[in-house]
Amino acid sequence: MKIAFDVMGSDNGSKNPILAALQMIKEFKDLEIILVGDEKEITEHLKQIFKDEKTPDAISIHGAKDVVPMTAGPFEAVRMPNSSMSQAVKLVKEEKADGVLSSGSTAAYLGVCHLILGEISGIKRPAFMPIMPTLKGGKVLLLDVGANIENSVDELISFALMAHIYSQTILNIARPSIALLNIGTEENKGPAVTKETYAKLKQLTQSNASLSFLNFHGNIEPRDVLSGDVDIIVCDGYSGNVVLKSLEGMATLIFSLIKKGYTKNLWTKFLALLSKPVFKGIKNTFDYKNTGGAQLIGINGICFKAHGSSDSRSYYSTLKLLRQAIDQDVTNKIKTQVAELL
């Protein structure tokens, strides 16, 4: 199993991605990782880490001269065929890798994956789908969070279907419950496209209808996104991005205020030390800078995106998700099921 890893999109240089890759190959003996990026820089990091030892065989380097700027849009990115991002995605196209991870510009990555790999036949729009922690200790899939702005009824239904297959395959949930994001739980609430999607999903998921295997739960409000009440939340890319960034903003704000409170004086600093076990887990779980791994679902290949500010632990957990997606052949499962339904 081979992963192509664009190590140049990190805000803090390529060291964190490389450390995560090394941890992965240590843990999974069936895995090879191709580090894609500036050959000199990568070699330098590996030399520093391994000193006189030999770099493990499961690690290889694919040199790429250019780096897609973090501000780049899709058009700028697809015009850079020698970028680490394009080269990493191309390795999947050429079947030299089974999946790809990048933490570069979201819009750029979307453009490059789209151009090089194309979409799954029958899926009109891909979606970014993060896997988020819930209050109940489980996971919830939210899609789309920014591959699109607006989405049609049929696109939203295709998101539900893809997430259903992902949830079954990767998260082992037998019959994942699916909700639509809305500003009220009532059927007649919200924007026209949400009301229409509600009606169509309700109809298509009735017994004997074509999507009767989907478990449609109805609407969910943004305040309950992380409640764990449902397994999948479907929305247009604009709303999803607003939810994700609002959650992220509030978490950052509260933790920074708590930190400020605990660093006021020596006594509060001492209290902070004692309270550490209380906060352990909470902060890490909901600090979106440290998680935020998302699959670009609907693309004809297994493409994951990590946050640009990820640390090595966060790259590691995204690589693990990517490995699972490859192992479970998730994209082919989506392809097959979509083809059967069309």
Chain residues in the site for a copy of itself (CB under 8 A): 135, 146, 149-150, 181, 183, 190-191, 221-227, 238-239, 241-243, 245-258, 261-262, 264, 268, 271, 274-275, 277-279, 282, 286
19/193 with CB nearer a copy of itself: 193
203/275 with CB nearer a copy of itself: 275
257/341 with CB nearer a copy of itself: 257
Q: How far is the CB of 71 from a copy of itself (least distance, A)?
A: 9
Q: How far is the CB of 220 from a copy of itself (least distance, A)?
A: 10
Q: How far is the CB of 22 from a copy of itself (least distance, A)?
A: 32
- Report the distance separating Cα 243 and Cα 239, nearest Å: 6
Least Cα distance to 33 among 331, 330, 300, 315 occurs for 315
171/271 with CB nearer a copy of itself: 271
213/270 with CB nearer a copy of itself: 270
Q: How far is the CB of 117 from a copy of itself (least distance, A)?
A: 24
Quote the crossing angle between the two packed helices 237-262 and 266-279, to the nearest 10°: 140
Q: 261 to each of 116, 250, 277, 281, 288, how far by Cα in Å?
A: 49, 16, 17, 19, 21
Q: How is residue 296 annotated by DSSP?
A: E
Q: How far is the CB of 6 from a copy of itself (least distance, A)?
A: 22
130/190 with CB nearer a copy of itself: 190
The three-class DSSP label of residue 121 is coil
Q: How far is the CB of 303 from a copy of itself (least distance, A)?
A: 21
Q: How far is the CB of 245 from a copy of itself (least distance, A)?
A: 4
CA atoms within a 13 Å half-sphere pointing along the CA-CB vector of 233: 29
Q: How far is the CB of 40 from a copy of itself (least distance, A)?
A: 33
Beta bridge partners of 2: 32
248/311 with CB nearer a copy of itself: 248
Q: How far is the CB of 204 from a copy of itself (least distance, A)?
A: 24
- Report the distance separating Cα 19 and Cα 315, nearest Å: 9
For the stretch 170-175, contacts whose Cβ atoms lie closer than 8 Å and that sit 24 or more positions apart, written own/partner, are 170/321, 170/324, 170/325, 170/328, 170/330, 171/131, 171/139, 171/141, 171/231, 173/231, 175/213, 175/215
- Residue 159 gets the label, from left (phi > 0), alpha (psi -120 to 50) or beta, of alpha
Peptide bond into 144 cis (omega under 30): yes
- Report the distance separating Cα 280 and Cα 282, nearest Å: 6
Helices (H), the chain: 15-27, 39-50, 74-78, 84-93, 106-117, 153-171, 192-204, 237-262, 266-279, 282-286, 312-327, 330-341
190/298 with CB nearer a copy of itself: 190
92/225 with CB nearer a copy of itself: 225
